Amino acid sequence: MAKNFAHYNPYGHPNFVTSLPSFEGLNIIASLVDFPLNLIGSVTFDGHPVSRAGRIYSISVRLSAPRIAGTLTVRFSINGVAVVGTEVVIDGVNPQSNFAIFTVPVVGSNFVANDRLGFTVSTTLGWLPITADIVVAPEVLYDDYL
């Protein structure tokens, strides 16, 4: 069950940070370009529908095995389109896990009711290990709370 934490924006209106279901990818291979990840436990659902407006707040990424070579990039997506500026990178500096918190809204990261939220993964040609699985844990900041 997701927890809601009150967060007040600079204008004094209450917003709430909420955890969404996690996303996963199995056996991430090299040379992927914005490949969609699925909700954990699903092989067909690559997005989470939302019932109200908000924006991405944070993204946490973890691999089942540490990076050996190359770079892996995870991006937030809305209706299947990756949002530039919402990257979390796994590389030589952060070889197994990394996160990003977007305290300032990223242009294009706002969503509305009925949008489908998801994540994509891209890897470089030399990405290893190709047997690593990935899990992505997102949080969103809703514009209101009913």
- Torsion, Cα of 116, 117, 119, 120 (10° steps): 30
User: Which pTM value belongs to this model?
Assistant: 0.87
Q: Is the pLDDT assigned to residue 146 strictly greater than 90? A: no
Q: Considering only CA atoms, give the Rg of the chain.
A: 15
Work out the percent of the chain whose per-residue pLDDT is above 90. 75
Q: How confident is the model at residue 124 (pLDDT cuts 50, 70, 90)?
A: very high
Hey, what are 100's tokens? 């990003």
HEC-encoded secondary structure of 81-98:
EECCCCCEEECCCCCCEE
The average pLDDT across 79-96 equals 96
Q: Is the pLDDT assigned to residue 14 strictly greater than 70? A: no
Q: What is the pLDDT of residue 105?
A: 87
* Cα–Cα distance, 121 to 33 (Å, whole number): 7
Beta-carbon contacts of residue 139 (< 8 Å; ≥ 6 apart):
17, 18, 19, 20, 56, 57, 58, 59
CATH classification of 23-142, choosing from 1.20.140, 1.10.3470, 2.60.120, 1.25.40? 2.60.120
Q: Is the pLDDT assigned to residue 135 strictly greater than 90? A: yes
| Domain parsing of the chain, residue ranges | 23-142
Q: How confident is the model at residue 5 (pLDDT cuts 50, 70, 90)?
A: very low
